[in-house]
Amino acid sequence: MFDGLISIEHLRVDSYTLCCAQPKTVGKIQCTAPVNEISSCNNLIDIPFLSTLIWYIALLAVFGNLFGPFYRGFLRNTQNLAFFVIYSINLSIADFLMGVYMFTIAGANLKFSGRYGFEDEGWRHSHICTVAGVLATLSSEASALFVLLITIDRIIIIRDPLSSLQRNNLVSKIMTGTVWAISLFLSLLPLFGSDYFENYYSSSGICISLPLSVYRKPGWEYSMALFVGANFLIFIAIFMGQLVIFATVVRMGLNVNSCHSAQRRREINLARTLVAVAITDMLCWIPVGVIGLLTFTGIDVTTQVYAWVIVVVLPINSALNPMIYTFSEILRRRGKAYKVSLVDEGTSSQQDCRTSSPKQPEVLAEEYM
């Protein structure tokens, strides 16, 4: 469309992709267009470091979360899985979907490298991009809800270890199905909505509509309520629940009359896991919530901040959850096996510790970790 224009000096267009097609027969042209949050004429992810980092985060999210269900569901050979194990397996599945999403975006960035501006329209409206957006939304909501269920389950087990709820797998199945149903509904709703959701997932090259820009995209109120409002409330509930768990464990530990050092070690290990859970949630949802509120009041963020949020902040839980919930359990079980071997060799002090200490705090520490 620019053929024959030899003296053009300035372009004002409604999409940055049109700036990518400016005539090369003319010298430098000043092209004015809305700024894209993360993409350029050459790349879907315009920051080279992030375009490489996304591959590593995707690998960690995919293979780490594949190992979690395999370890818990098969290697342990557990017939009647505890609620915690059922929820953590489903949490791994949810986080695995985020890894698939990251791989999809990373693959598109690699495929369209050097010419993304000309492929932007086709990519954003493709079925692959839509599926990727649905997976990202499904993963983020299901992951947050399963962490909340794990927190609630731990509160129940420390207050009543013999609760009948813990022996009824039907409850865990109903709760698991409810979480997936809610998350799937929230992620598919924009596909079947009215004109309000027009181009909801295709409004960005990353295929997910986050409320992190002052530019009001279709369905931005829904996105704000979902990613900022609902997830922030879930995080507050998780954080308060973790505080309740830790306070209860410490109070129970004070009632132990012997083997204070062993109880102290259990409290420290539990505290580390709780802190790790709280920190990863904070790293993920607080930046998204703060930036979302800033853009809601009209304060825009730089494109670099937006890019970092998409590539690093959004999937941080999916990448770190396997290490928190699975690898910490592996390390704990190895430590437990080592203690048992010491008992077998005649370490009477360890045996005395087990017989003189109340069983409940120990079960709690083992179950939670």
CA-nearest of 165, 139, 143 to 83 is: 165
User: Regarding predicted confidence, which is higher, 227 or 26?
Assistant: 227
Q: Do 60 and 27 share a structural domain?
A: no
Report the b/e string of 169-191 with b at 16+ CB within 10 A: eeebeebbeebbeebeebbeebe
- Each residue of 126-162: pLDDT tens digit? 999 999 999 999 998 998 898 888 888 878 777 776 6
- Which H or E run contains 111? helix 83-111
CA 269 to chain centre: 23
Neighbours of 3 (CB within 10 A): 7
Same domain, 7 and 30: yes
3-state class of 259 per DSSP?
A: coil
| 9 and 48 inside one domain | no
- The bridge status of strand 10-12 relative to strand 30-32 is parallel
- Percentage of the chain exceeding pLDDT 90: 17
In sequence order, which ranges of 126-230 are alpha helices (DSSP H)?
Answer: 127-159, 169-192, 220-223
Q: Quick one: pLDDT at residue 364?
A: 45
Residues 29, 75 share a domain: no
Q: Could you tell me the CA-to-CA distances from 32 to 28, 35, 353 in Å, in that order? A: 13, 9, 73
Instruction: Mark whether 25 and 76 lie in a shared domain.
Output: no
Q: Is 184 helix (H, G, I), strand (E, B) or coil?
A: helix
Same-domain check for residues 260 and 357: yes
39 shares a domain with 26: no
Residues 24 and 153 in one domain: no
Domain count, the chain: 2
Closest C-alpha to 297, from 214, 368, 364: 214
The stretch 334-347 carries a mean pLDDT of 50
Same domain, 39 and 113: yes
- One domain, residues 166 and 280: yes
Helix, strand, or coil here: 301?
coil
Give me the CATH number covering residue 217: 1.20.1070.10
In a shared domain, residues 25 and 44: no
**Bridge-partner residues for 182, per DSSP?**
none
219 and 190, same structural domain? yes
Least confident of 24-38, 186-200, 308-322: 24-38
For residue 310, give the nearest of 19, 58, 25 by alpha carbon. Answer: 58
pLDDT digits (tens, 9 = 90+) for 282-304: 667 777 777 777 777 777 776 67
Q: DSSP character for 36?
A: P
Query: Is the per-residue pLDDT at 357 higher than 50?
Result: no
Q: Is the pLDDT of residue 74 over 80?
A: no
Domain range for 343: 35-368
pLDDT (0 to 100) of residue 318: 81
**Is 115 in a helix, a strand, or coil?**
coil
Helices (H) and strands (E) in the chain, counts: 14, 2
